Amino acid sequence: MRSGFTETLRGLLDRPLASYYLLLSSSALLLTIGLVMVFSATMVESYSENGDAFAIVVRQATWALVGLVGFWIAQRLPARTYRSVSRPLLVFSVILGLILLAPNFGNSVVGTDDLWIHLGPVQFQPGELAKFALLLWVADSLVRLGPRIASWRDLAVPLFPIAGLSMIIIGYSDLGTMLIIVAMFIGLLWSAGVPMRILGTLFAIALAGSALLIAFEGYRMERIVSFNRPEDFADGWGYQAIQGYYAIADGGWFGVGLGESRQKWEWLPNGHNDFIFALIAEELGVVGCLVILALFGVLVYTGFRIARRSADPFRKLVAAGVTMWLAGQAFINIGGVLGLIPITGVPLPFISDGGTALVVVLAAVGMLAGFARAEPDAAVALRARNPSRLVRFLWAPLPPAPAGAESGSSSKQTSGSRTPSG
């Protein structure tokens, strides 16, 4: 029985478009769960403030629609477009980060507030865009360097000063986002084959820089100090952690029921955002948490699978970078909620309330979906289907044919053999 299931699973994973469908299904399920949990977490607050229990989740659903449009656009773009926009996008994100550092910038129409820039009724986080921009720029730079990545001097001149400046600007106001960017940056260098001696030095520099940023802001040090003994800081930074533990303990194996949380009645701060995993544990229990972790596991597996199967070096690096970004952010968020690491205040991808984070994540996953369609076997299968122009316009154009695929396809058709399909 077990061998039969294994063979069936292996057969499904061997299909040309397995990466694409795994990515779509896991992302769609996480997004759906996120919208449901945002509604559950905000219904009391939303009704109290607006007289409408659906006000906040409708806003989040609107951002989700914007993000799906971003997914659709990103899926259609070729790799050369991402490489060409990487530099101007990085410059734009650095400018936004500098604006964020100016608390008195703007007027009643444009202004800043902690991590957000406000444009009238709309607010967005520059740090979320910086993740995407730096990912594309670093991957493009590493591909251009080629074998010279083994040289510290060749890496340092174009790469380290700009990347370091971007991280400092973002980290000054948002340490959690900077830690995600640092992990993604070092992961990209490791994926490209940068020697370990360089990676070790960069890791030490990153630790020292993080320590300085923590020491510079008193509240960050208080979070670190209250990490091991939150009960000693119940009136301050330990309060959120303690309420999160109560939510997790109340949930048990199967939870108290969807929508039945007690902690969302103004007990747990940011239960719809940073601590939404605690409310998932309370309402859906350990089983619900395991489902979330399993879906993230499928997403991470699929991202690394796309990176491994991509023929283009840029696609390979970007796919690995997006995967490390999402995996790192999920680990930092869930680890903070469970008390494994200090709380940093980053959202849980796909699930936490927050428009900018959701739009950027969906656009990044859309890019990853385009790369999945460009896997050599997937590209051959899609081109063999020869979808209509309407389908290509409404969903996605055909990926480029891999090298040697045309002649191989012609010979197969002549011999009467079948072309694999997804």
- State the sign of the Cα–Cα–Cα–Cα dihedral 159, 161, 165, 171: positive
Show Cβ contacts of residue 160 under 8 Å, excluding neighbours closer than 6 positions: 202
Given this model, what pLDDT does residue 155 score? Answer: 81
Distances (CA, A) of 279 to 246, 262, 273, 331, 337: 10, 9, 10, 17, 10
The backbone torsions φ and ψ at residue 342, rounded to the nearest 5 degrees and listed phi first, read -60, 150
Q: Render pLDDT for 34-53 as a digit per residue (tens, 0 to 9).
A: 999 999 989 988 888 888 88
Of residues 168 and 253, more confidently modeled = 253
What mean pLDDT value characterizes the chain? 84
Cα 221–Cα 353–Cα 302 angle in degrees, nearest 5: 95
pTM summary value = 0.88
Terminal CA-CA length for the chain: 26
Euclidean distance between CA atoms 321 and 329, whole angstroms = 12
Given this model, what pLDDT does residue 408 score? Answer: 43
Q: Where are the alpha helices (DSSP H) in 310-404?
A: 313-338, 355-373, 376-385, 389-394
Euclidean distance between CA atoms 380 and 398, whole angstroms = 10
Show Cβ contacts of residue 162 under 8 Å, excluding neighbours closer than 6 positions: 90, 137
Q: Render pLDDT for 385-395 as a digit per residue (tens, 0 to 9).
A: 888 888 888 88
The backbone torsions φ and ψ at residue 387, rounded to the nearest 5 degrees and listed phi first, read -65, 160
Q: Which residues pair with 116 in a beta bridge?
A: 113
